Structure 1
Amino acid sequence: MPTLLALLHLVGCMLLAAVFFAPTGAPTLVHLLKGILREYSLVMLLPALLTALVSVWSAHTDAWRWLRWGTAASALLVGFLAVWPAASAWRMARAADIPLDLREYLRPLVGARPLPSQTVRFAVVAGHELHADVFLPGAPASKARPAVLYLHGGGWSGGGRAYGRAWADFFSSRGYVFIALDYRLFPPATGLKAPGDVKCGIRWVKDHAATYGIDPDRLVLFGESAGGHLATLAGYSEGDSRLPSSCASGDSSVAAIISFYAPGDLVAHAVGDQVALEGFTGVPLEGHRALYELLSPVNHIGPRSPPTLLVHGEADSVVPLDASRAMAARLAQVGVPHVLFTLPYAEHGFDIWDGGFGRQLARGRVGLFLQAHVPVGE
C-alpha cells in the first residue's frame, strides 16, 4: 500500500509539471490548465505537502528506494512550481509599486460580470450589424471624460464583445466610459475589413461623444490578442487610405493604445499560426507577403503614433513574447512613448482569471499608464 500510494503521488506530480511546462502545440485544454496553474500556483502547495508526507512515510517502509527518492524530488519540484510564479509576481509588484491583494487571489476564477448600461448598433456594413456595449461610470462628471474602446480576442474568428465585461468595472470605477466594440470575424476573410470596422467604431464614438459625456480627443484603444492586433493596426494606420473606415470617413485617431499579448508582425506570426492567418487574410503568406506586411501594425509605427502600453506573458505559447518586443523596439526607434510590461511566468490570456496575480499586476500597470497619458479629470 505505501508503495502504491507513493507511486500515485509521483505520477500526479509529474502530470502537474507536464501541464505547467506544456509546450506550444499542446491541446487547448492543456494550455487553459497551464494558465490556471501558473496564475494560481499557490494551490500546488497542497499536493507538494501531501507528497512530502508520503515521502517521509515511505522512507520508513519497504517501498523501492528509487520511488522514495523520486517522491521526495517530486515534492520539491511541485513546491518550487507553486512558489516561483507567486514570488515573481510579488517582486514585480514591489518594483512597479503595484499593490497585490491575497483576498482577491482567493476569489472564484471568474466572478460576476456587470451588464452594459446600454447596447447600441453603431453600423451596418455589407449587411452585417456591428454593436457596442456601453458602460457608464456611476458618478456624474462636471466635464467630458475619456473613454476606453475595447476589442476582444479570439483569433479573429471567435470571441465577442461580452469579453469586455471582465474589464468594465475596472475602468468605469475610475471614471472612464468603457465601450466594447464588435468587428467582423472570419470566415469569410476579414483582414481588410476588421481594421475598418474598428475605425468605424472609433468614428461613431467621436460622433456621439456628447451623448455619453465623452471627450472625443481622449479615446484609448484597448485590445487583447487578436483585438490587440486590431487596436494597434487601426491606431497606427490612421489616415492610411489602404485601410479605410468601413463606414463614415473622418478622424479616427486615438490618444493612446493598450495591447495585450498581440501579434505585431503577421509575416513572423504566420510561422506558428498559418491556419488562423490564412483564414483572416484569405490567402497564404507565400505570394501575398505585401498583404501580410500591410496588416502588420509594426509596419505602421511612426513618430506620431499614440503612446502605447504592451503587456505580455513570457511563457505565452500562442503569441510569443518576441511579438511585443519587436513592437517595443520599433516604438523606441521612432521615439514614441511606450511601456513593455512582461510577466515572467504568465501564459496567453493570463488576465481572464479574476483574482490572479497576473490580472492584478496588469490592472495596476494599465492604471499607471492611463494616469500618465489619458487621466480622468484633465
Structure 2
Amino acid sequence: MLNLKIPLMAWFCLSCLSPIVHGYEVDDSYTVTSAYAKYHKQYPHIRLVDVQPAGKIRFDRVYANINGRELHADLFHPTLEQGQQPLATIVMIHGGGWNSGNKSLFYPLASAMAQRGYLAVTVEYRLAPEAQYPAGLRDINAAIVWLKQQSVSLNINPDKLVLLGGSSGGHMAALLANSADEPLFHADKSITVSTQVKAAIDIDGVLDVSQGDGLKHEDKNGNANSAMGKWLGGNFAQQTERWKAVSTALRINQTSPPLLFLSSGQMRFAAGHELVFAKLSQLGIAHEMVNFAPAPHSFWLFHPWFNRVVDKVDQFILENVVQIQAPIQSQ
C-alpha cells in the first residue's frame, strides 16, 4: 500500500473541484467523492487510495493553446539514477462519460507508476459541454505530439509511449492507439510527428458502439442525450458514421499496438472485446484481458483493486514495451 505523503483529503478535494474556466460549461458530476458515495453501500470494503509522489511532480504544464484556451498536463517523474530514462511514458486519459471528470482522477495511479520507474502524464482535454467530438481526441493527440517534441528536455524515449484510460478515457485510449493515421483526430494537419504509441491499456472502456451490447447500452434506445450522444452530437440513427468512427473494433490494423483490457466484470463496458481480440489474434498482436469481478465500474480508483491494477499495468508495459520480464509482484 502506498504511504501517505500528499494529504489524502487534499487529493480527495482536488478531484471534486471544477476547473476555473471562462466561457464554457463544466460538468463536475464525476469525482472520486461521487464514485465513492455511489459504490460504498454495495461494496462496504472499498477504501480510498493514499498518494505518495515518487520524484518531481510538475503541475499544469501547457501542452496546447487553442484560441487562447490553454490545455494542461501534469507530469509525475520517477526518481532516476544519473543517465537513466523512465522505463516508458504513460499518457493517462481520465473518464467521466466524455462529459465530466478531470485529470486529478488519475493522480494515485500516476504516482504509483512513477514509483515503478515510469513518467506518468495526466492530461486535460476538452469535454462535451465545452467542445463535442472530435475535439477531445485531437487534444490527446496534441499532447502526444508535445511529449514527443519535448522528449530531449523531458529525458524520455519518444518511441516508448503508452496510452492508458479509464471508462470513457479507456475508450479514447484504445481508439487513438488504433487510429494514429486518422486526419480527423488531428487539428493541425501540418504537424508530421506520428502519434503512434507502443501499447494501449483500456480500463473498462467500451470497444465497439456500432453494434451489439455497446450500441444498446450507449445509444440507450436512441436517446440523443445519452453520454455518447451528447459527445457525438446525436444518437446512432442521427450520427451513424460518427458512432462507427469511434468504434475501436472497426479500426484494428497491422500497426495496432498491444492491448491490455482491465475489466470490472460488468461486460457492457467490455462490449466489442471479442471482435477486437479476434482481429488482434489474426494479426499476431499481443492482447490480454484481466477480470477484476466483482468490482464497481470505477474500481481502479479504490482499494482493494488498486494495487493489482498497478501490478498488471506494470507487467504489461515491461513485457510489451520495455521488453523485459516483469518481476512477480505481491497481490
TM-score where L is the length of structure 2: 0.77
Please give the secondary structure, in 1, of the residue aligned with 2:243.
helix
Structure 2 SS opposite 1:117:
strand
Question: Residue 306 of structure 1: CA displacement?
Answer: 0.7
1:125–1:246: 8 Å Cα contact kept in structure 2? no
Q: Which moved more, 1:124-133 or 1:327-336?
A: 327-336
Inter-partner Cα distance in structure 2 for 1:325 and 1:362: 21
Q: What is the SS of the residue equivalent to 2:142?
A: helix
Alignment correspondent of 1:265:
208
What residue number does 2:30 align with? none
Letter in 1 for 2:316: F
Counterparts of residues 201-220 of structure 1 (less than 5 Å): 201-220=143-162
Q: Aligned in 2, Cα 1:271/1:126: closer, same or farther, shift over 3 Å? A: farther
Distance 1:343 1:377 in 2: 25
1:293 paired residue among 241, 244, 248: 244
Residue in 2 aligned with 1:330?
279
| CA deviation map 1:53-83 (0-9, x unaligned) | xxxxxxxxxxxxxxxxxxxxxxxxxxxxxxx
Partner of 1:121: 62
Q: 1:149 is paired with a residue of what secondary structure? A: strand
Counterpart residue identity of residue 279, structure 2: R
Is 1:174 aligned to residue 121 of structure 2? no
1:368 counterpart = 2:315: yes
How large is the Cα RMSD of the aligned pairs? 2.7
Q: Point out the structure with max Rg over C-alpha.
A: 1
Deviations 1:215-271 (A, max 9, x none): 001011111111111111111101122332457442111111111000111224342
- Assess, with a 3 A threshold, how the Cα gap between structure 1 residues 119 and 187 changes in structure 2: closer, same or farther: closer
Q: Which amino acid aligns with 2:62?
A: R
Deviations 1:134-168 (A, max 9, x none): 11112335243321111100111111111121112
Change (3 A) 1:249 1:195: farther
Instruction: Specify the alignment match of 2:135 in structure 1.
Output: 193
Tell me if structure 1 keeps the 8 A contact 2:76–2:121: yes
**Does residue 202 of structure 2 align to residue 251 of structure 1?**
no
Q: What does residue 26 of structure 1 align with?
A: none
Deviation at 1:324?
A: 3.4
1:288 to 1:156, Cα distance in 2 relative to 1, 3 A:
same
**Structure 2 counterpart of 1:335, one-letter code:** G
- For 2:75, the equivalent position in structure 1 comes to 134
Distance 1:245 1:334 in 2: 30
Which residue identity is paired with 1:307? P
Runs of 4+ in structure 1 deviating by more than 6 angstroms, as ranges, are none
Question: What residue in structure 1 maps to residue 48 of structure 2?
Answer: 109
* From 156, 165, 176, the counterpart of 2:98: 156
* Offset at residue 188 of structure 1 (A): 4.5
2:42 and 2:308 map into 1 onto residues whose CA distance is: 14
Q: Distance in 2 between matches of 1:187 and 1:371?
A: 37
1:349 aligns with 2:312: no
Structure 1 residues 38 and 351 mapped into 2: Cα distance closer, same or farther (>3 Å)? farther
Is 1:39–1:350's contact at 8 Å kept on the other side of the alignment? no
Bigger mean CA offset, 113-122 vs 249-258: 113-122
The one-letter amino acid paired with 2:204 is: Y
Q: Is the 8 A contact 2:64 2:72 kept in 1?
A: yes
Residues 165/246 of structure 1: CA separation in 2 closer, same or farther (3 Å cut)? farther
TM-fit CA distance, 1:292: 0.9
Structure 2 gaps of 5+ residues are 1-32, 220-225, 326-331
Alpha-carbon distance in 2 for matches of 1:282, 1:243: 16
Q: Which residues of structure 1 form unaligned runs of 5+?
A: 1-28, 42-104
Distance 1:285 1:205 in 2: 34
Match of 1:88 in 2: none
Q: What's the TM-score, normalizing by structure 1? A: 0.68
Aligned length: 282
SS class of match (2:57):
coil
Counterpart amino acid of 1:276? A
Distance in 1 separating the partners of 2:38 and 2:129: 29
- Does structure 2 retain, via aligned residues, the 8 Å contact 1:151–1:223? yes
* Distance in structure 2 (CA, Å) of the matches to 1:30 and 1:149: 24
